[in-house]
Amino acid sequence: MDNSDLAKMQSRVVSLNYDKGWYDKEVSFGEAMALLHSEVSEALEAYRHWGTDDATSKALDFGAGDRIPKPEGVGSEFADILIRLLDDCERFGIDLNAEFERKFAYNATREYRHGGKRL
């Protein structure tokens, strides 16, 4: 994925969030981080229930009418994390692609397992 792909994804997220009313009021940095954390917690809970399997067909809520089934499982929660992260970057003026490149370049200079860390 090149940096334009990430920018396009962020633009799609922000556009949808505006359309759905999520920009009607300001969100504090603390609230945004708590919501991002909640998505990470939901990924852990999905893993505890279904492992890494797509659990959409195992979920009880299949939507109604012309709506598609609500995606469930770790993959869906990881997507929620990315969606929230891209939205947070827009809200707080963070160039995620530039920060990724900067951090990735730094990490390439670190010792094997960062000098012996276990995880």
DSSP state of 69: P
For 111, the domain range is 3-116
93 against 57, higher pLDDT:
93
pTM comes to: 0.86
Say whether pLDDT at 60 is over 80. no
Say whether pLDDT at 66 is over 70. no
Q: Which of 99, 49, 113 minimizes the C-alpha distance to 77?
A: 49
pLDDT at 116: 80
Give the model confidence (pLDDT) of 70-89 as tens digits: 999 999 999 999 999 999 99
- Alpha-carbon distance of 11 to 97, in angstroms, equals 13
CATH code assigned at 85:
1.10.287
Position 114 confidence tier, pLDDT thresholds 50, 70, 90: confident
Domain total of the chain: 1
